[in-house]
Amino acid sequence: MPSTGIKKLDEVLMDGIPDGSSVLVMGTPSSGMELFAKQFASGDKNGNVVYFTTSETESEVKSMLKSYKWREDINVISISTQYYEKILAKELEASKLKKEGLSVSDIAKLGTFEGREDINFLETLTYEISKLKKNYRVVVDSLDFFLERYPPEDVLSAVRTIEAHVHYTKGLALFTMIKDIYDKRIENSIAAVADCVIELEVVKIGTGFENRLVVQKVKNMPQKIITLIYSITDKGITPETISRIG
């Protein structure tokens, strides 16, 4: 079965994740979700990998992959770069022109906002993934970008569409999302769509901290609910012990 990119996690699941599965990784910003996403992307040694990042440039992602000696020949699509070039850069330019004394009508004549209303990054994400057909894995890091900019129901619908496509084409998908900041109904609904839900958490223990990887859900396999204690090493996220088996 396809690897998660983390050997011990593969072992405690089902020797990997079945083709056609969607994985949701939730956690705090300091828990290493972005690293998990890159490690997961590199778990496929030969297939087509598409990595959507909403907070990094393509070069930043590739640089991180290289530093860990992970697979670099993946297709990185930086939504954050597209958002800056197509939206933020125009808004900044308009703000600058307004500061310099141009009226709103003058700015409009310069075409500063041309095409802005037609850009829907959520639809673009769904469309790009729908073009993938076989032997692929896709990473969306993260859903937070979309939940902050589009109606939550639209994001949930997109996740369902992507999950269905991945299931029927036997691909593999991973989504990341910050936990406990959105409406619980939406968070639970997104988790319900996923075949596997993993939570990364940092827990204060005495004067120190403990990193925990909690497998909260594996579809049709409740016996796989576990907690792993992990550290971050030069190999990435590295589980050390199993602290609980449900």
Looking at residue 158, its amino acid is A
2 within a domain of the structure (yes/no):
no
CA atoms within 13 A on the CB side of 129: 31
163-181 confidence digits (pLDDT tens): 999 999 999 999 999 999 9
**Residue 40 is part of which domain span?**
7-245
178 within a domain of the structure (yes/no):
yes
Backbone angles phi, psi at 215, to 5 degrees: -85, 105
1 within a domain of the structure (yes/no):
no
Nearest to 61 by CA among 46, 87, 88, 80: 80
CATH code of the domain covering residue 241: 3.40.50.300
Whether 165 and 20 have beta carbons less than 8 Å apart is answered as no
Number of domains making up the chain: 1
Q: What is this structure's pTM?
A: 0.90
Whether 194 and 20 have beta carbons less than 8 Å apart is answered as no
137 within a domain of the structure (yes/no):
yes
Beta strands in 101-190 (DSSP E): 136-141, 172-178
Residue 196, C-beta contacts closer than 8 angstroms, at least 6 positions apart: 13, 17, 21, 22, 23, 24, 215, 217, 218, 219
Nearest to 246 by CA among 87, 11, 8, 12: 12
Cis previous bond, 55, omega within 30: no
9-22 confidence digits (pLDDT tens): 998 887 889 999 99
* pLDDT, one tens digit for every residue, the chain (246 residues): 899 999 999 988 878 899 999 999 999 988 999 999 999 999 988 899 999 999 999 999 999 999 999 999 999 999 999 999 888 777 666 666 566 566 656 555 555 555 444 689 999 999 999 999 989 999 999 999 999 999 999 999 999 999 999 999 999 999 999 999 999 999 999 999 999 999 999 998 888 999 999 999 998 887 788 999 999 999 999 998 776 554
119 within a domain of the structure (yes/no):
yes
- DSSP H helices in 29-88: 33-41, 58-67, 79-83
